[in-house]
Structure 1
Amino acid sequence: MAREDLLASWVEHFAMTFERDGLPLIAGRILGYLLVCNPPERTAAELSAALEASSGSISTNLRLLGGNGLVRKMTRRGRLAALYRVDEQRWVDFVQGRLEAIAGVRELTAGGLRLMSGDPERAERLRTVDEVYGSLSGALDDLRRRLQHTRDAQRA
């Protein structure tokens, strides 16, 4: 299989992974493509051609990705069309936000367990969920430290 075919397959797999997390498939394709294309900036028309998607779909999903900070819109003197690229620094913020959401679930389950302290039978289901999120808490703390290190390094 040719390298470009392998990259196209990777972009599709990337997009489907993020689709499971609620991102539209086209938005995932845009993200995946912008992560590996060279040069790293593309116009909406170039994205449309490369991803074989309508200009309307590309435009809608670029607004979505720009709204959450994952894709940055840039202009260059002498170019009529705006350029789009993945904003690596904001990607760290995006991942950090997802980690905070996971940590928030742990706080909820711990609070629920306190409420159910006198009723172990009712607490059992909640305890199982709490244990899952509890096992993630150490890993999340470690990942937060690494993400902060990455953010600090990118700012330097």
Structure 2
Amino acid sequence: MAREDLLSSWVEHFAMTFERDGFPLIAGRILGYLLICNPPERTPAELSAALEASSGSISTNLRLLIGQGLVRKMTRRGRMAALYRVDEQRWVDFVERRLESVAGVRDLTAGGLRLLSGDPDRAERLRVVDEVYGSLSGALDDLRNQLERARDAQRG
């Protein structure tokens, strides 16, 4: 298989992983492509051609990725079209927000268990979910420490 075919396959796998996390498939394709393309900046027209996607879909998903802090828009003197690239520095923030979301679920399950403290039958499903999130707590703390070190390294 040719290298470009392998890279296209990798972009597709990357996109499917992000789709499982709730992103549109095309957003994952844009992100995966921007992570490996050379030069690292692309116009919407270039993204549309490379990913065989409509300009409307590219535009919509670029706004989503910018809103998530994963892609940034740039302009250059002498170029009419804006350029987009992955914002590597903001990935730590993105991952940290996702970790906070997981921690938020643990807070919710703990609150629900308090509400159902006198009704163990009703609380059983919630208890199982709480235990899953509880087992993640230590791992999340480790990840937060690693993210903080990564953020410090970015600043340094």
TM band (smaller chain)? over 0.9
**Across the two proteins, how many residue pairs are aligned to each other?**
156
Write out per-residue CA displacement over residues 104-129 of structure 1, whole angstroms, 9 at most, x where no aligned residue: 11011112222222322222211111
Q: Determine the C-alpha separation between the residues in 2 that align with 1:130 and 1:149.
A: 28
In the alignment, what sits opposite 1:124? 124
Q: Determine the C-alpha separation between the residues in 1 that align with 2:110 and 2:29.
A: 37
Amino acid across the alignment from 2:147: L
In the alignment, what sits opposite 2:80? 80
Indicate the SS of the match to 2:41.
Answer: coil
Unaligned ranges ≥5, structure 2: none
After superposition, residues 19-38 of structure 1 pair within 5 angstroms as 19-38=19-38
Q: TM-score, normalised by structure 2?
A: 0.94
Q: Determine the C-alpha separation between the residues in 2 that align with 1:3 and 1:147.
A: 33
Q: Percent identity?
A: 87
Indicate the SS of the match to 2:72.
Answer: strand
In the alignment, what sits opposite 2:113? 113
| TM-aligned CA deviation for residue 95 of structure 1 | 1.1
Write out per-residue CA displacement over residues 70-126 of structure 1, whole angstroms, 9 at most, x where no aligned residue: 110001122222110011122211111111011011011112222222322222211
The alignment yields a C-alpha RMSD, in angstroms, of 1.2
The runs of at least 4 aligned residues of structure 1 exceeding 6 Å deviation read none
In the alignment, what sits opposite 2:152? 152
Q: Determine the C-alpha separation between the residues in 1 that align with 2:75 and 2:133.
A: 43
Amino acid across the alignment from 1:112: G
Unaligned ranges ≥5, structure 1: none
Q: Determine the C-alpha separation between the residues in 2 that align with 1:130 and 1:25.
A: 30
After superposition, residues 1-156 of structure 1 pair within 5 angstroms as 1-156=1-156
